[in-house]
Amino acid sequence: MKIHAIIPSGGSGTRTSHQIPKQYLEFGGKEMIAFTIEVFQKCNLIDDIIIVAKPEYFNLIEQIKSKYSFSKILRIVEGGNERQHSVFNGLKSISADSKDLIVVHDAARPLLTVKLLERAVKSAKIYDNVVVALKARDTLIKGSDTVDSYLDRTDIFYAQTPQIFRYDILMESMRKAESERFLGTDESMLVQKAFYQVKIVEGSPLNFKVTSDEDIKIFKSLIE
């Protein structure tokens, strides 16, 4: 069994004030995506890494690969219009056995730890399909301008990445979604929609996705 990582990095960063996507911004001279890739480079359970990105950033990623000696980066693949299409492009570029594991992780979640990654992979070896998720801790309100009702948070989780799936299951699920023209918000939704069980692995508040200027400030303060 091999374990392949797909890191989608095609986001345009429209929710920030920066001219380039946030995953390519530098913090202390180090690109955000480099923090992310480094975790997979260091993890002994990961065999190779596929980066999915817009073609105009291929050269930058190649420079990052060389700069930090990211030897596990196998190839850089062109992304699609949506995240789902990008991950599917990455998946189709891999020569894998049916029982291999595919780890999908957002480029803009740079504070993933090797420990959490390893815990998720070990769980996927047992359960085939895993989603790292953070249990809801705050009171959940339903409404628009005013409170309509309060939701029971007992069984509510916030989905994170990494999300890990057996290769044949993820491929089947993504092909099914494509044929039905279904666009999900993440891979676990597609796998669950294809009637496979997805095991929840407890995530971390630090494993947040950097999407806004405020998130960028938080990330910067944490690494400093």
The residue segments making up the domain with residue 59 are 3-223
Task: Please tell me the total count of domains within the chain.
Answer: 1
- Nearest one of 55, 186, 65 to 131, comparing CA atoms: 186
Residue 179 tokens, joined: 């044929």
CATH code, domain carrying 55: 3.90.550.10
- Give pLDDT tens digits for 25-38: 999 999 999 999 99
pLDDT digits (tens, 9 = 90+) for 162-173: 999 999 999 999
For position 182, what pLDDT does the model report? 98
Query: What would the two tokens of residue 171 be?
Result: 């491929």
Q: Is the pLDDT of residue 177 over 80?
A: yes
Q: Is the pLDDT of residue 13 over 70?
A: no
Rounded CA-CA distance 160/132 in Å is 5
* pLDDT tens-digit series, residues 34-84: 999 999 999 999 999 999 999 999 999 999 999 999 999 999 999 999 999
pLDDT at 224: 87
Residue 15 confidence (pLDDT) above 60: no
Average pLDDT, the chain: 96
pLDDT at 10 (0 to 100): 82
Cα distances (angstroms) measured from residue 17 to each of 98, 110, 173, 213: 42, 19, 36, 7
Packing angle of the helix pair 32-42, 114-127 (nearest 10 deg) = 60
- Can you give the pLDDT at residue 16? 60
Instruction: Copy the structure tokens of residue 148.
Output: 């309509």
Whether 101 and 167 have beta carbons less than 8 Å apart is answered as yes
Q: With 80 as the cut, is the pLDDT of residue 17 above it?
A: no
Sign of the Cα torsion 108, 110, 112, 118 reads: positive
Q: Are strands 157-166 and 101-104 parallel, antiparallel or unpaired?
A: antiparallel
